[in-house]
Structure 1
């Protein structure tokens, strides 16, 4: 994805685009809700990218092939949960420890958002975000 295509696609999908430029090429910071994607280009080719998910301050390396899949995800689906949220899934209570793209093995494209949940009664799960409900925790 070239810089112009990324900027247009991001704006169409509701991302705020902050652009900078250095001697290697353009750099974009895309912000939507509590999500942040940073992409640096070498000329017109993506060179490196990071992703910061809601509920964390940590930026993690983002595979270049995944940039477009994250940019195109539904904003309502992405904004439903943050890392650290208390949730319930089919009667089991747990905490969101990660948020990932569900990927179709047959079609090799991103599907819905998946949550990684550590359950209070033991074990982990990876349900789609629409299968979980946020639980209000009393302080």
Structure 2
């Protein structure tokens, strides 16, 4: 083990990462929960580094200097979200597509990082992890319904328009399940919930 890996071992112990090393070419892998960092060496010098965040199938190349910063990030915040997760941020719905470090070091405490989110309106955002709330999938009772195929599961009559940036797109009435009436869908925008659809009363014959 070279001097860099000796130092890496100490940092890993202090920040809760597990370090494994070896192989040809020499490599070190840091793991903590669902996160992984791979470092390849050229002799005793770290040559390249890659990050594998939760939800990603392949490693992303990162600057070697960022390894120390990722190791210092809050473990609690790093377990909050995964790539591909649906979230709401301040009432806006979107999908987590990545993570990025903040450029400036914190005055104190863990190094800060942000989510990379693509909102359903097409705008990119970079909220902090704690400000994004996990959006649960549609209830099991809704089966595999989609916002444009709620069919008999519709419990709310809504005024909707096809998802577009054109505010003059035609409106139409559509029954949606409770979930899609609240959150909409990638293919449509809920303009207004008009009313609840009464549940048919089935009378029993005596």
**TM bucket, shorter chain:** 0.7 to 0.9
Give 1:44 deviation, angstroms: 2.8
* Aligned residue number for residue 56 of structure 2: 56
* Aligned residue number for residue 95 of structure 1: 95
Corresponding residue pairs, total: 135
* Deviant stretches of 4+, over 3 Å: none
Matches within 5 A, 1:2-17: 2-17=4-19
Name the CA distance, whole Å, in 1 between partners of 2:23 and 2:136. Answer: 43
Deviations, residues 68-126 of structure 1 (Å, cap 9, x unaligned): 00111111111111100110100101100111112228x8xx84220111111231111
Give 1:129 deviation, angstroms: 0.9
**TM-score, scaled to structure 2:** 0.60
Question: Could you say what secondary structure the match of 1:95 adopts?
Answer: strand
Question: Could you say what secondary structure the match of 1:77 adopts?
Answer: helix
* Aligned residue number for residue 34 of structure 1: 34
Give the alignment's Cα RMSD to 1 decimal.
2.1
Deviations, residues 13-65 of structure 1 (Å, cap 9, x unaligned): 1111111144x6x4211111111101122233211111111101111111111
Does 2:119 correspond to 1:135?
no
Check whether the contact 1:52–1:60 (CA below 8 A) recurs between aligned residues. Answer: yes
- Note the residue ranges of structure 2 that are not aligned, 5 or more in a row: 139-143, 145-206
**TM-score, scaled to structure 1:** 0.87
Name the CA distance, whole Å, in 2 between partners of 1:98 and 1:45. Answer: 28
* Aligned residue number for residue 20 of structure 2: 18
Using CA pairs under 8 Å that are at least 6 residues apart, name the structure with larger relative contact order, 1 or 2.
Answer: 1
Name the CA distance, whole Å, in 2 between partners of 1:20 and 1:89. Answer: 42
Question: Could you say what secondary structure the match of 2:112 adopts?
Answer: strand
Question: Could you say what secondary structure the match of 2:71 adopts?
Answer: helix
